[in-house]
Structure 1
Amino acid sequence: MALKYTNKINKVRTFALGLVFVGILVMYIGIFFKSSQVIMTISMLIGFLCIIASTLVYFWIGMLSTRTVQVVCPNCGGATKMLGRVDACMHCSEPLTMDKSLEGKEFSEHYNNKKNINKKRS
């Protein structure tokens, strides 16, 4: 069974989308506590803060994606953005690297962590 890798940008965007849904759900739950204004207000504020956090995460990943390198996937031919030394194709999840020393090695997201670079090379 082949492992399914995901693109780092898509992971962060999925997390931000999840924050939006959690925020709306928490706000919706607050409606059931109309009789207690304190619980309803806290629920609405927590939901609002989740949505604001989502906005900040979307802004951060948008700014981060402007520094990416756009490459063409050799497997599917689709244009994808690479963030870091190794990443996965946004379309087909093919492991990608631009580092010649990592070609032919088993794909690991630990190659992006500077602490683990020397450990994986040996």
Structure 2
Amino acid sequence: MGLKYSNKINKIRTFALSLVFIGILIMYIGIFFRDYPVVMVIAMILGLLAVIGSTVVYFFIGMLSTRAVPVICPSCEKPTKVLGRVDACMHCDQPLTMDRSLEGREFDETYNAKKQTTNHHKA
């Protein structure tokens, strides 16, 4: 069995969704401190900030996904988006690249790093 790769857009969306649930959980915990209004208000504010943070992350990934290149996955033949030099299919996690110089190489997410990119062009 090979390594499991995941799509960058899906990773960020999962993080944003977890922020929503964490924020709601923090606010729910704040309800148990009704006898201590200061603690309850702090929990409510922290929970609200987590939910607002998730909104910001969702907005960010929405803007970022407009830069992603839409492609058809050669493995599952479903439409997906490639963000950066290397990415994985949103549906089947097939490693994908738009850079012809990386075709046939072992999938490595460090190819997206700016340092790696500059070193690659010098070689």
Distance in 2 (alpha carbons) for counterparts of 1:2 and 1:25? 36
Q: Which residue matches 2:39?
A: 39
Q: Which residue matches 2:86?
A: 86
- AA in 2 matched with 1:24: I
Q: Which residue matches 1:113?
A: 113
Distance in 1 (alpha carbons) for counterparts of 2:100 and 2:55? 37
Deviation string 1:2-58 (CA, Å, 9 cap, x unpaired) is: 111000000000000000000000000000000000000000000000000000000
- How well do the aligned residues superpose, as a CA RMSD in angstroms? 1.5
Distance in 1 (alpha carbons) for counterparts of 2:106 and 2:15? 27
- AA in 2 matched with 1:37: P
Q: CA deviation at 1:68?
A: 1.0
Unaligned runs of 5+ in 2: none
Q: Structure 1 length as normaliser, TM-score?
A: 0.96
Deviation string 1:61-115 (CA, Å, 9 cap, x unpaired) is: 0011111110010000010011000000000000000101000000000000110
SS of aligned partner of 1:21? helix
Q: Which residue matches 2:29?
A: 29
Q: Which residue matches 1:76?
A: 76
Q: Structure 2 length as normaliser, TM-score?
A: 0.95
Larger CA deviation: 109-118 vs 16-25: 109-118
Distance in 1 (alpha carbons) for counterparts of 2:33 and 2:10? 36
- AA in 1 matched with 2:110: H
How many pairs align?
122
- AA in 2 matched with 1:36: Y
SS of aligned partner of 1:44? helix
**Superposed structure 1 runs of 4+ greater than 3 Å apart:** none
Q: Which residue matches 2:100?
A: 100
Distance in 2 (alpha carbons) for counterparts of 1:87 and 1:94? 8
| Identical aligned residues as a percent | 66
SS of aligned partner of 2:107? coil
